[in-house]
Amino acid sequence: MRTLVHPDTTDSCSRARILVILGALAVVGCGDDDGDTPVDMAIPRDAVTVVDAPMADADFAIDQGVAMDMSAPLCPGSCRPDQALGCSGEATCVLEDARPRCAATVGDGELGSACEATDQCAPGFACFQRRTGGVCGRICCRDDATTCEGDEVCRGTGILVDGTATGYGECQQPRTCDVLASPADACELAEACYILSDGETACLAAGDRAAGEACVAANDCAAGYACVGAFEGTCARICRLGRSDCEAVGGTCMAYATSPEGTGLCTPDASAGS
């Protein structure tokens, strides 16, 4: 017995298959275009040019619309030290080591209190490392935007006073900084000054990738570098316009649309690939 298919249905399926194939080809074409260097390589050396290319932000991966269940934040550990939740009985969730744990006793140091050991801060706080020593700061889960209050943001290095690195951050007021200053003058210990996607600057935990290396978030790059590019970001050296800051990495200092005033990025010269 043969199964009869209505002609209109067959034509609709065929048209749908054609549209899918054309759509796939269009996506591939766009991907190739986006992979090109977003710089006019015919620009003469030493010209001050504004290049319209996006900067990566610290939250780039989340901002791209990646599907995830935000009702269950990916916070490290089996309990939540930022909310002092997840422990039974009289125990409290604390952040005194690389991962949170339930503790029977806790400290009493509140926000801004000086501390010398990881167990000296009250529930919801941790003894974070500073250049001048330890300070009790409010713990936050980087994947939970509701952790901090008011206009605070979840940043910081997450490094405790004894040098232990954690997967948590610290609620802080947004801070701007000078991308041309040394890390010691611009930000806290283990941080560096970065250019965000909106052109603002911020102190973030310092990365370690150098010129030309792939990056996604702004602070994947080392201090003094910026992550530029929409889909395939690379680290580029931050430079001062009109100066020879690019000699070590090559190229010319060119201003980008999001470059802070007086700064640019070291961009390959037109003759570099010839």
- Report the pLDDT value the prediction gives residue 274, as an integer from 0 to 100: 45
| Number of C-beta neighbours around residue 85 at 10 A | 11
State whether the Cα torsion 257-260-263-266 is positive or negative.
Answer: negative
- Report the pLDDT value the prediction gives residue 266, as an integer from 0 to 100: 94
- Report the pLDDT value the prediction gives residue 137, as an integer from 0 to 100: 96
Q: What is the pLDDT of residues 135-190, one digit of tens each?
A: 999 999 988 878 899 999 999 999 999 999 999 999 998 889 999 998 889 899 99
Give yes or no for a contact between 164 and 99, defined as CB atoms under 8 angstroms apart. Answer: no
- Report the pLDDT value the prediction gives residue 54, as an integer from 0 to 100: 60
Mark out the alpha helices in 35-160 (DSSP H runs): 60-63
- Report the pLDDT value the prediction gives residue 246, as an integer from 0 to 100: 92
pLDDT band at 116 (very low <50, low <70, confident <90, very high): very high
Mark out the alpha helices in the chain (DSSP H runs): 7-34, 60-63, 183-186
- Report the pLDDT value the prediction gives residue 13, as an integer from 0 to 100: 41
pLDDT band at 122 (very low <50, low <70, confident <90, very high): very high
| Strand spans (E) along the chain | 50-51, 92-94, 101-103, 114-115, 125-130, 133-140, 153-155, 169-172, 191-195, 201-205, 214-215, 225-228, 233-240, 252-256, 263-267
- Report the pLDDT value the prediction gives residue 18, as an integer from 0 to 100: 38
pLDDT band at 245 (very low <50, low <70, confident <90, very high): confident
pLDDT band at 55 (very low <50, low <70, confident <90, very high): low
Between residues 214 and 29, which one has the greater pLDDT?
214
State whether the Cα torsion 217-218-222-228 is positive or negative.
Answer: positive
Between residues 33 and 120, which one has the greater pLDDT?
120
- Report the pLDDT value the prediction gives residue 8, as an integer from 0 to 100: 43
Domain ranges across the chain: 39-63+207-274
Instruction: Tell me the pLDDT of the chain averaged across its residues.
Output: 77
Rounded CA separation 75/93 (Å): 13
Q: Is 120 exposed, middle or buried (0-12, 13-18, 19+ CB in 10 A)?
A: buried
Q: What is the pLDDT of residues 88-105, one digit of tens each?
A: 999 999 999 999 999 999
Which phi and psi angles does 84 have, rounded to 5°? 55, 45
The single-letter DSSP state of residue 19 is: H
Rounded CA separation 207/213 (Å): 12
CA angle 6, 7, 11 (to 5 degrees): 125
Find the range with the poorest average confidence among 22-31, 56-65, 173-182.
Answer: 22-31
- What percent of the chain is predicted at pLDDT more than 90? 51
Rounded CA separation 227/225 (Å): 7
Rounded CA separation 60/204 (Å): 14
Do the strands 263-267 and 252-256 form a parallel or antiparallel pair, or are they unpaired?
antiparallel
- What percent of the chain is predicted at pLDDT more than 70? 72
